[in-house]
Amino acid sequence: MIPAAFTYQRASSVDDALAALASGDAKVLAGGMSILPLMKLRLAQPGRLVDIGRLSELRSMGPTADGGFEVGALVTYAEALDATSLAIARECISGIGDLQVRNRGTIGGGISHADPASDLPALALALDYSAVLRSSRGERTVALDGFFTGPFATVMDPDELIIRIVRPALPDGAGGAFRKLGNPASGYSIVGVAAVVAMSGGSVSHARVALTGVHEHAYRAPEVEAALVGSDGSPAAVAAAAEHATVQVEVTGDIHADRDYRARMAVVHTRRAIDAALGR
């Protein structure tokens, strides 16, 4: 289909982009992997498209002074994949879309788009990332735990732009893994689970588990984490913790998987992700 008429603007700087967003009825174009398909279907009809794709200041990536890591909003999936040594990140990002999507799609776009079946939000939640948001009114940092509010919905204001995402240092000895049941046609997650786990003194000392594809947005599973921390990390303990994967969550049912099947697969893949993380 053909998009509705719109005005195109190439931003010359972040401030230029923010000024355009502040004027109203504008959407950001970065890699184009999300907004352009929506416009072609006329599910999105912005009056102005603000192209930020050439803003080099949003392409930085690397460790922070406190041992954490930050990723600029315009870093592509392929660039992030090449730069990371984390097994959990490589497992997740390598399964996002196809080669074209990974080469053009951006980290900031994937987070702000908030697709309920996107793998990136679950990865970012498990790694404890926060989003640095900026508008013409100022800058704020928002934890991604609570950032996603519904299908394609976040706490971002219409005039805000993701500048980068940043996480703290991982706990000593932490291992992570990503496991998914993917749609064979699209690759989107029917169920996707990211788990970061650390052991200390023979028991689990740290656990962050996040799921995607299961609910109307990606979410952390605090009941799984609480059941896991303090346990011995045995197969029985992991299996018992995984049973809490959808506690207090309204599981989505659709043509790809009904609610009961998706809920059960959430438990199965949560167990697999935790087991794999503990093995690293």
Which residue ranges make up each domain of the chain? 7-49, 59-167, 176-278
Identify whether the C-beta of residue 274 lies closer than 8 Å to the C-beta of residue 228. Answer: yes
Instruction: Compute the CA torsion angle 46, 105, 252, 228 (nearest 10 deg).
Output: -140
In the three-class reduction of DSSP (H, G, I as helix; E, B as strand; rest coil), residue 152 is classed as coil
Identify whether the C-beta of residue 80 lies closer than 8 Å to the C-beta of residue 71. Answer: yes
Q: DSSP string of 213-279? A: SSSSS-EE-HHHHHHHTTS---HHHHHHHHTTTTTT------SS--HHHHHHHHHHHHHHHHHHHHT
Strands 7-10 and 48-51: parallel
Nearest residue to 69 (alpha-carbon basis) of 204, 149, 170: 170
How far is residue 274's CA from residue 233's CA, in Å, rounded to a whole number?
A: 9
User: pLDDT tens, position by position, for the chain (280 residues)?
Assistant: 788 898 999 999 999 999 999 988 888 999 888 888 888 888 888 889 999 999 999 999 999 999 999 999 999 999 999 999 999 999 999 999 999 999 999 999 999 999 999 999 999 999 999 999 999 999 999 999 999 999 999 999 999 999 999 999 999 999 999 999 999 988 999 999 999 999 999 999 999 999 999 999 999 999 999 999 999 999 999 999 999 999 999 999 999 999 999 999 999 999 999 999 999 9
Residue that is written with structure tokens 């050439």 in the block? 54
Identify whether the C-beta of residue 106 lies closer than 8 Å to the C-beta of residue 75. Answer: yes
Identify whether the C-beta of residue 71 lies closer than 8 Å to the C-beta of residue 165. Answer: yes
Confidence (pTM): 0.95
Which CATH architecture describes the domain 7-49?
2-Layer Sandwich (3.30)
Which CATH architecture describes the domain 59-167?
2-Layer Sandwich (3.30)
- At residue 38, the pLDDT reads 85
Can you state the percent helix, strand and coil of the chain, rounding each to 5? 30, 30, 40
**Residue 68 burial (10 A CB sphere; 0-12, 13-18, 19+):** middle
Residue 64: both structure tokens together:
């922070």
- At residue 31, the pLDDT reads 86
Rg (CA), the chain: 19
- At residue 42, the pLDDT reads 87
- At residue 35, the pLDDT reads 85
Which CATH number does 176-278 carry? Answer: 3.30.390.50
- At residue 102, the pLDDT reads 95
